[in-house]
A and B are shown apart, each in its own frame.
Chain A
Amino acid sequence: MTTVRPRIVLGMPAYNRPDTLPRTLESLLTQTRGDFALVIVEDDPAAATAGIVDAYARDDARIGYERNTTRLGMVGNWRRVFAIARRRYPEAEYFAWVSDHDTWHPRWLAELVAVLDAEPAAVLAYPRALRVTPDDVRHAEKAFDTAGVRGRAARLRRSARHLLAGDMIYGLMRAAALQAAGVFRPVVTPDRQLLLALSLFGEVVQVPEVLWYREVLREFDLQRQRDVFFPGGASPLYSYLPSHLQHSAVLCWDFAVCGRGRPAFGRLAGLRYAATQLWWSSVRQLRQQRKSESPSYVPGTQHG
């Protein structure tokens, strides 16, 4: 099927997963909603994935593939995937990052598009997920959305306290809102930072069905994230600051200093939002710290 002007672009920042790529690709290519383009950018210059992609791309013009000549790291590659998507398909309304190792229910895309089509105030739709480990599966029990929360500050407050970054970042977003929110920034837990910024531009809706099967090989680890985000041991010093400080700084820079919230909101509002995020994220950090120090604490809490 050829889609010259797709409504949706799926961007896959890949990193050498020939073991999972065929199954992952097939779960995307067999979606009931087929009007999308798939942009794959491989960040491992030595990866053996080109042949796998070629085998599918031969029969499916929706697939585009590039391989980075030098490793960009996760932040760089996620940004590159989105940049290529916008360049190739500037008219596409919706965008989603997809991994190279998860699988999706055939109705995943159709259900998320239906939500965004029906809710003009929504900028992100995402489903419930199943956590898949090598020999077991677990439901992701937590739920989060800001459906019906009209005020920006209220959405930001709620997001700072409760959002589920790891799941939401793989949801379907309005491309224009994502662009305005700043895509992916070079900070730790950049998914959380992006989603906080995105909350200023619209609501988040969670579809109550499990439509995404997420591979989980290990628990979240901040040092590992730095190594992945900034390859070659190049973690900047600021990345060792508490994440909520980094996020607040980015929000402040983007919206209070550079005024990137316009025309939706001005610099003064941007400053207020950065402060709101700092306060409520600090409260959340404090609560999580107290919880982890509690004798009854069970490690492995999903990072969000």
Chain B
Amino acid sequence: MTVPVPNGANEHYAAAQARVAAMAGAFVPESQLTGAEVRQRAALAPVRRADAGTLADLRQFGKAISGVRRSNYRGERADAVRTNLSRDLQRLLDAGDRTLWVDEPAAFGGFGFAGPLGRYNEDTLRFFTVLSLLEEGAVLTPFRRGTPRPTLWEIGGGWGGFAHAVRTICPLATHLVTGSEEQLLLSATYVATLHPQARLRFYDPASPAAFWEQWDEVDVAFAPDGIVPGHDAATAALPVPRLELVVDLGQLERMDESRVARHVRTAWTTGARFILSLSGTRDDKAAGEPPTPVTPVVDRYYWRHPLSTPKYLDRRFVVRRGTCLLGWRRLHA
């Protein structure tokens, strides 16, 4: 079955492609990437020059980011996956705030099972879990209030699903996405198409300081991982707004320790009150290449929020695999 290209997607993709291309040179050189990052980039490579068929089916690339396979949602494996997911979904909905639910859109080849609140898959549940945890930790309140306008920094950006969820639930917040060329292209196209009224901003290496000016006028901003404030001496002096929350949905553990430390230290330096990091939740670990431990780095800069207790996470949020770490900023690091 041919999946149609969503309305406006061609234009948004072309615009994102041009803006991301202009960032060339500002991305982290491939020589500094880990094997996991290189493999991820290779899996996402078709996004760089997407034809109509690729553009219409961008969701297929989610597998390279979160490990969620569309093939698990049809055929022989679907029944077992559905049984487990529907049980988890029910537990999350029974205890949670349904206003935080954002279902999987059909656009770009969206997939999943039909649930009480719409289409869903493992990514959908993950986003609902993260938002629910943030709500219970009273972290989401400033984002829902929007005054003063808070900023959420998402490390990696993924395929745009989390940015879409946040944009839907918290339209009065600014969402900063940093990542690789492919991640920015993928997430920018996705978000721009689903939120055509959103005010987007793309980093321009020709005027780095301008990226951070009039920040309140930005809904979603995209920048290379390499311009993370504090990344080097050149970026240290930039007028970066204070971040309220930093979210890592599994990208940090793909990086090497020095870059993990740089991201977390930057989060702390910019005053981010909270950090949330998921690690160890995917199945795509390459043999002989364990993921980088993120928790010890986060612990140096952030106190663990009581909600990060494994027993509670398992009982309330069905987090059985990996680590879900919510931290609040230490005064001294």
* A positions within 8 Å CB-CB of B: 23, 26-27, 29-30, 56, 103, 105-107, 130, 132, 135-137, 209-211, 213
Contacts and interface: CB of A to CB of B under 8 A. Distances in A.
B309 A136 contact: yes
A27 B138 contact: no
B241 to A, nearest CB: 16
Contact of B309 (A29, A103, A105, A135): A135
B311 A136 contact: yes
Given A107-B138, A130-B306, A211-B138, A136 B331 contact: no
Nearest to B271: A30
Contacts of A130: 306-307
A135 B138 contact: no
A105 to B, nearest CB: 5
Contacts of B97: none
Contact of B307 (A23, A107, A137): A137
B306 A27 contact: no
Q: Is the interface of B mostly helix, strand, loop or mixed?
A: mixed
Contact of A137 (B138, B142, B306): B306
Contacts of B311: 135-136
B32 interface: no
A56 B330 CA distance: 12
B126 interface: no
Given A137-B306, A137-B307, A209 B312 contact: no
B328 A137 contact: no
B328 to A, nearest CB: 7
B138 A209 contact: yes
A27 B312 contact: no
A26 B302 CA distance: 11
B11 interface: no
Contacts of B141: 107, 209
B167 interface: no
A106 B331 contact: no
Interface in B102-161: 136-138, 141-142
Interface residues of B, number: 16
A26 B331 contact: yes
A30 B329 contact: yes
Given A30-B329, A105-B138, A135-B309, A23 B303 contact: yes
B138 A26 contact: no
Contacts of A56: 331
B186 to A, nearest CB: 34
A103 B330 contact: no
B273 interface: yes
A209 B139 CA distance: 10
Nearest to A135: B311
B328 A106 contact: yes
Interface in B298-333: 303, 306-307, 309, 311-312, 328-331
Nearest to B303: A23
B331 to A, nearest CB: 4
A23 B304 CA distance: 10
Central interface residue in B307, B329, B331, by most chain A CB within 10 Å: B331
B309 A210 contact: no
Given A107-B142, A137-B307, 13 more contacts: A23-B303, A26-B303, A29-B331, A30-B273, A30-B328, A30-B329, A30-B331, A105-B137, A106-B273, A130-B306, A136-B309, A137-B309, A211-B138
B326 to A, nearest CB: 12
The 4 nearest A-B residue pairs measured at CB: A26-B331, A136-B311, A132-B306, A213-B306
B162 to A, nearest CB: 23
B300 to A, nearest CB: 14
Contacts of A209: 138, 141
B328 A27 contact: yes
Contacts of A107: 138, 141-142
Nearest to A128: B138
Nearest to A130: B306
Contacts of A210: 136-138
B249 to A, nearest CB: 23
Nearest to B315: A136
A29 B303 CA distance: 14
A228 B330 CA distance: 32
Contacts of A29: 331
A103 B302 CA distance: 14
B262 to A, nearest CB: 23
A107 B307 CA distance: 17
A103 B138 contact: no
10 contacts: A26-B303, A26-B330, A29-B331, A30-B329, A56-B331, A103-B306, A107-B141, A107-B142, A130-B307, A213-B306
Contacts of B303: 23, 26-27, 103
Contacts of A27: 303, 328
B60 to A, nearest CB: 39
Nearest to A104: B328
Nearest to B308: A137
